[in-house]
Amino acid sequence: MDFGIELGQFSLSVFNYILMLSVITKNKRAYFDYEILEKYEAGLVLDGQEVKSIKTGHISINGSFVTLKSSECWLIGATVPPYKMAGRLIGYEPGRSRKLLLHRREIDSLIGQTKQKGLTLVPLEVYTKGGKIKLKFGLARGKKKYEKREIIKKRETDKKIREAMKAM
Residue closest to 29 by CA, chosen among 125, 154, 136: 125
Mean pLDDT of all residues belonging to the chain: 84
Q: How confident is the model at residue 15 (pLDDT cuts 50, 70, 90)?
A: low
CA distance to 36, 70, 75, 99, 106, per residue, from 111 (Å):
17, 10, 15, 16, 9
Rounded Cα distance between 150 and 112, Å, is: 31
Q: How confident is the model at residue 104 (pLDDT cuts 50, 70, 90)?
A: very high
Share of the chain above pLDDT 90, in %: 33
pTM, entire model = 0.73
Contacts with 86 (C-beta within 8 Å, 6 or more apart), sequence order: 49, 52
Domain boundaries, the chain: 17-143
Would you give the end-to-end CA distance of the chain in angstroms? 39
What is the structure's pLDDT at 125?
93
For domain 17-143, say whether CATH 3.20.20.80 is its number: no
Rounded Cα distance between 152 and 154, Å, is: 5
pLDDT tens profile 27-82: 888 888 888 999 999 999 998 888 889 988 899 999 899 999 988 999 999 999 98
